[in-house]
Structure 1
Amino acid sequence: MIKGLGNLGDMAKMMKAAQEMQTKMTEAQAALDTIIVTGESGAGLVKAAATAKGELTGLDIDPSIFDPNEKEVVEDLILAAIKDAQAKASARMESEMAKITEGLGLPAGMKNPFG
């Protein structure tokens, strides 16, 4: 005699949960393109904007730093602002992904299995 679906019912629930997670991850990945973070250096003299995915979208440079004798300083400030924006983008991406996975009982820091 067959006693219901047993493990097959559990498998169907797991598959449905995996599909829902994949949908949420896809939506979150798309949202990361619209989230903008700003990195700074030189006490705000140089600002770099990036999406939460880390794509650089803009630079804002205070004209007071353009001294021809300090070209290397300006270059360093620009690089520092970009690196700061990228670090903030990475942190924001992790934060957004954690929001999705926290309710699923997945281990902390688990990478996106669908990305």
Structure 2
Amino acid sequence: MALHHMDDPQAILTALASRLRKGGVLIVIEGTDNKPSVGQIEAVGSAGLRQTLNMEEFAEDTMQDWFQAAGCRGEGEGFVYVVNDEVSPVPESACGVPGGLDRRLLIAASVKE
């Protein structure tokens, strides 16, 4: 739940995967915006969070590419990508964004080849 803070998330996954044995599982857990409004996006920028947040959307095809580049399976058997339907509110006091944010939990996992 910190990959979104990294300048090069794919490089971090590669470094983590290098520590796994063949057949080991690399798991990413992240929050993803639940259809952020334009106001939320502008507020995140004005709150200064853009300096610490990588705003990359952790889309399935992006995660597949990152896992493959890290030496893991990026598609088919051995790759899992799930976005939870439940929305988790992040209060304004925690994120500094007026009205807070609505986030959903994303889990992506892959097996090292």
TM category (shorter chain) comes to under 0.3
Higher normalized helix content (fraction of residues): 1
Larger radius of gyration: 1
Q: Which has the higher contact order (CA 8 A, sep 6+)?
A: 2
TM-score calculated relative to the size of structure 2: 0.22
TM-score (norm 1): 0.22
